[in-house]
């Protein structure tokens, strides 16, 4: 995208953390941004953080519900008439040894992290085909590095990486670019964390925002399809 001004993005899980950081970055480039989440209060707070502009559309949607995602895309197309970028960012993590991992926590991770990414893409497919747009998933270094007590989270993030890479091969014939971003530790509210000065060594949400801008501005002949990103100095923690 040589000129991002006026382009339309949809970010799931956009009310805080990485999603909110990316939304702010895209708005700074003149894009119109729809963010979704399950909580209306957090969405209202996010809109205030983003300046309350009419260039921001807040949508209540649960990515585990395909009808919600179809409705979200419909609202975006009705408001702005196009959909150029989709970031499947919504995610959740529950960590426990596999013999202690509950069925509920397993299903929540699979339905949100993996099925949710599929539902979002499926709902946005025709819009992305029309715009020859960009679909990006937010995976994790946990999608390539396994660890104890991470059976469910590892399974879903490995799945997101594999899903996205296969999707990339399927959709490039339609002119759609597809990438997955795999961050290490990020200063977000993930897993109950409250970001503070102790998180200064981590990747910051705005850093992921800069990375997404770089992807969108990449020469269209070149596709960084899988990007690993990690803190420079984890030893500072």
> What are the residue numbers of the active site?
140, 153, 157
The DSSP bridge partners found for residue 137 are: 88, 180
C-alpha span between 158 and 55 (Å, rounded): 34
Task: Please list, in sequence order, all residues whose beta carbon lies within 8 angstroms of the beta carbon of residue 57, skipping any fewer than 6 positions away.
Answer: 32, 33, 34, 35, 75, 76, 79, 80
Q: Are 181 and 136 in contact (CB under 8 A)?
A: yes
Neighbouring C-beta atoms of residue 190, cutoff 10 Å: 16
C-alpha span between 26 and 5 (Å, rounded): 9
Residue among 148, 226, 140, 149 nearest 184 (CA): 140
């Amino acid at each position: 995208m040589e000129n991002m001004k006026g382009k339309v993005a949809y970010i799931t899980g956009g009310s805080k953390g990485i999603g909110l950081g990316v939304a702010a970055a895209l708005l700074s480039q003149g894009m119109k941004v729809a963010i979704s989440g399950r909580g209306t209060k957090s969405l209202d707070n996010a809109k205030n953080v983003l300046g309350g502009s009419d260039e921001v559309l807040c949508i209540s949607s649960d990515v585990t519900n395909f009808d919600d995602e179809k409705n979200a895309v419909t609202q975006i197309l009705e408001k702005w008439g196009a959909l150029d970028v989709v970031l499947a960012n919504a995610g959740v993590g529950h960590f426990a040894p596999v013999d202690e991992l509950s069925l509920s926590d397993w299903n929540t991770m699979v339905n949100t992290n993996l099925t949710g990414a599929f539902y979002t893409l499926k709902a946005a497919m025709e819009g992305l085909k029309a715009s020859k747009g960009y679909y990006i998933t937010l995976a994790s270094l946990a999608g390539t590095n396994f660890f104890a007590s991470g059976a469910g989270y590892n399974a879903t993030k490995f799945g997101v990486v594999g899903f996205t890479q296969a999707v990339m091969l399927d959709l490039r014939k339609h002119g759609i670019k597809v990438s997955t971003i795999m961050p290490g530790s990020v200063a977000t509210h993930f897993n109950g964390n409250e970001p503070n000065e102790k998180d200064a060594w981590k990747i910051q949400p705005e850093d992921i925002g800069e990375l997404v801008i770089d992807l969108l501005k990449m020469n269209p002949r070149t596709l960084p399809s899988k990007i690993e990103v990690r803190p420079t100095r984890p030893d500072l923690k």
